Structure 1
Amino acid sequence: MHTDRPNDEKEQERLDVHHHVCALILGGELFRAPVDLDHDKARILDLGTGTGIWAIEMAELPPNCHCEINDFESEWEFSKPFDFIHGRNIGGAVRDFPLLFKRAKDNLKDGGWVEFVDFVGEPFSDDGTLAKAPNIAEWIRLIDEASHKSGKRLYIAENLKQWMIDAGFTNVVEEVYKVPFNPWPKDRHLKEIGRYHQVDLEEALDAYSMALFTRYLGWTTQAVHAFLVGVRQELVDRSIHIYSKHIWVYGQKKESD
């Protein structure tokens, strides 16, 4: 699977931080779908699994977890259907999401569940302080433009629910969670999320920007680094009360399908 994001040790560490952010958002849970899993018998597929931390925690014991290196945009050739299929933050790595949802449905047991998780690209604020973050807003706009040009759009979270419905899933639910960019909130839980999300974002700046900006927007490496200086300054400024939205979407395969 080709991606414009790095996969070195630094990026692996960032992915584990992001996993912690997601766990904080869900109060320690690994998923939101109301699936009843027998961990000794359930077949679970995690797409684009990163460091494997989600899959290992789901398996409860590492021997229950098996990794396969493959391209999930190619034909799926699994011998048995799954009880649960999960994909988190695979925006930017997929050319055809409707086809991916069809393949997921075709490889689920009747009554099985699918769950996809991703973040909304647009930054938000409730007090107008987004106006103090022009570099962050421009960074996000440019990431969207570049990922469009690459053929694998990064910001797809708001389409997940409709794609799931269009693929024929039932009982589709979309849950939206507020995720601060840094520890600006007074609420202790949101402050803790923001503390780790800031680290995640700081590490993601180069990871998400360098290849997209240089390959698809024609920027030089030096220009990217210079631009990101302003983004970092805004990112750590606690007077800027901005947040992103993380979306969990899950649905069920009909018993009769």
Structure 2
Amino acid sequence: MSEYILPAPTNNIESGRLDHQHEIFIRTLGSLNKAPLDTSKPLKVLDIGCGNGNWTMLSRLNTRKLTFQQASAESADSWDSLQDRFDFIHGRMIMVFVRSWPNLLKRCYDKLTPGGWIEIQDLQFPLQCLGESAVTAKCRTLQWSDGLVKGMQMAGVSPAGAMQFAYILPRLGFVDVSLEDRQMLFGEWPESEEDKELAEWGWRTSDWAREGGRGCCSRRF
């Protein structure tokens, strides 16, 4: 199930950005997912906002077939059209189009099998600088972050969606709720070669996103 405010990612720039974004998440988290899934049996899996399908194709999770459905993840009709219930529902970098997390997560809950899992991997805005680095209000990256937050708010999207999960999920009936914070790298400051590579990829994906953001703003706001 996938939704793009802009046209679907058919160009090389967007496809490359999604490839790098996928690699950043895998190397930051250390795995495709953290949910303790029983992969000894076939699983029914739903990937929300699958982009170019990197996570979907690699995960497989002992599934026997893959089906792609282009639909609005926030449309009740889209969820009603799903005939199955799922053992695992996954979403990554979907905060940019979610206007109501309670509604989306309630639909996920209703479509999970008993004992099923949901996992959302996402960023939190506005961006923050951790550690001892001195960042001023003139930093262009933080200015871009602030502008993106304003644009998301104008579109009715919450930039701090991840901060709501601990409150929303238990109230919908989810149990064993766990949140993990990970630091993602941007820029040229890391010392190790591995961190330098990740930081460069992070910077490049944000640079490509800025290109897409201009198109999004000109069309939507």
Using the size of structure 1 for normalisation, the TM-score is 0.75
One-letter amino acid matched to 2:46: L
Count of matched residue positions in the alignment of Structure 1 and Structure 2: 214
Q: What corresponds to 1:248 in structure 2? A: none
Give the conservation status (yes or no) of the 8 Å contact 1:89–1:118. yes
1-side partners of 2:35 and 2:9: how far apart? Answer: 29
One-letter amino acid matched to 2:67: H
Give the drift of 1:152.
2.4
Partner secondary structure for residue 86 of structure 1: strand
**1:26 aligns to 2:29 (yes or no):** yes
Choose between structure 1 and 2 for higher RCO, CA contacts under 8 A separated by at least 6 residues. 1
Q: More strand by proportion, 1 or 2?
A: 1
Question: Which consecutive unaligned segments of at least 5 residues does structure 1 have?
Answer: 217-257
| Percent of aligned pairs sharing the same letter | 26
1:187 and 1:133, CA in 2 relative to 1: closer, same or farther beyond 3 A? farther
1-side partners of 2:197 and 2:93: how far apart? Answer: 21
**Residues 40-51 of structure 1 correspond to what in structure 2 (within 5 A)?**
41-51=42-52
Give the drift of 1:94.
1.5
Give the drift of 1:182.
2.2
1:84 and 1:22, CA in 2 relative to 1: closer, same or farther beyond 3 A? same
**1:190 aligns to 2:192 (yes or no):** no
Partner secondary structure for residue 37 of structure 2: coil
Give the drift of 1:169.
0.7
Partner secondary structure for residue 106 of structure 1: helix
Give the conservation status (yes or no) of the 8 Å contact 2:98–2:157. yes
One-letter amino acid matched to 1:90: I
1-side partners of 2:191 and 2:156: how far apart? Answer: 40
**1:36 aligns to 2:38 (yes or no):** yes
One-letter amino acid matched to 2:84: K
2-side partners of 1:182 and 1:51: how far apart? Answer: 25
Give the conservation status (yes or no) of the 8 Å contact 1:181–1:198. yes
**1:202 aligns to 2:207 (yes or no):** yes
**1:112 aligns to 2:113 (yes or no):** no
Of 139, 143, 152, which residue of structure 2 is paired with 1:147? 152
1:108 and 1:62, CA in 2 relative to 1: closer, same or farther beyond 3 A? closer
2-side partners of 1:85 and 1:215: how far apart? Answer: 29
One-letter amino acid matched to 2:32: L
Give the drift of 1:130.
1.5
Give the structure with higher Rg (CA). 1
Of 131, 140, 143, which residue of structure 2 is paired with 1:135? 140
2-side partners of 1:71 and 1:131: how far apart? Answer: 39
Question: Which consecutive unaligned segments of at least 5 residues does structure 2 have?
Answer: none
Give the conservation status (yes or no) of the 8 Å contact 2:17–2:208. yes
Give the drift of 1:144.
0.6
